[in-house]
């Protein structure tokens, strides 16, 4: 059995702004509350390999991993997967942006399977990701909508 999550939020901002801010990997530590740093390791046509490092958890552990993202600006989708999988057998993430009347629906679909020795089961990680994704998406919504409301400099 594998883990699966599917979450979305509507952001009241122009599509280009939502796309640009949420795909600016170097800006992720300011966009997400969980990331201490984001380091782009390699950029080649059509894909970016990067390292994310989280803030220390309640036990003082610092989690870090390398992922690869393949954004498609024309289709407004992103396919990503962990290159360094850590406690996951695999982790794949699909981002989708669709224009709706109220704004841009940003959707994240995560498919994964935890290693047997991982500190969480597929079910436990699914519960964690569903809780945390709501928090992160709400932060992103607030920040992008604030940027959309700010006059251009």
Beta bridge partners of 107: 8, 96
Q: Is residue 40 part of a domain?
A: no
Q: Is residue 45 part of a domain?
A: no
Q: Model-level pTM greater than 0.85?
A: yes
pLDDT of residue 61: 84
Q: What is the domain count for the chain?
A: 1
Question: For the segment 25-52, what is each residue's pLDDT rounded down to a tens digit?
Answer: 999 999 999 999 999 999 998 999 999 9
Q: Is residue 58 part of a domain?
A: no
Three-state DSSP class for 121?
Answer: coil
Q: Is residue 91 part of a domain?
A: yes
Quick one: which of 21, 22, 27, 74 has its CA closest to 46? Answer: 74
Q: Is residue 10 part of a domain?
A: yes
CATH, residue 142: 3.30.530.20
Question: For the segment 74-119, what is each residue's pLDDT rounded down to a tens digit?
Answer: 999 999 999 999 899 999 999 999 999 999 999 999 999 999 999 8
Confidence band of 58 (pLDDT split at 50, 70, 90): confident
Q: What range does the domain containing 73 cover?
A: 3-33+67-149
Q: The tokens of 78 are what?
A: 């992103």
Question: For the segment 12-24, what is each residue's pLDDT rounded down to a tens digit?
Answer: 999 999 999 999 9
DSSP state of 153: -
Beta bridge partners of 43: 48
């Amino acid at each position: 059995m594998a883990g699966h999550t599917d979450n979305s939020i509507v952001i009241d901002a122009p599509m280009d702004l939502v796309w640009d801010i949420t795909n600016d990997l170097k800006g992720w530590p300011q966009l997400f509350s969980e990331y201490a740093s984001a380091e782009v390791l390699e950029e080649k046509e059509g894909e970016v390999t990067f390292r994310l490092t989280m803030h220390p958890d309640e036990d003082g552990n610092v989690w870090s991993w390398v992922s690869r993202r393949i954004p498609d600006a024309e289709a407004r989708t992103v396919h990503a997967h962990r290159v360094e999988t850590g406690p996951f057998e695999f982790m794949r993430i699909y981002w989708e942006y669709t224009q709706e009347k109220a704004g841009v629906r940003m959707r994240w679909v995560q498919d994964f399977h935890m290693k047997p020795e991982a500190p969480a089961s597929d079910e436990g990680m699914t519960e964690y990701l569903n809780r945390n994704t709501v928090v992160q998406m709400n932060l992103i919504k607030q920040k992008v909508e604030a940027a959309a409301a700010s006059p251009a400099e």
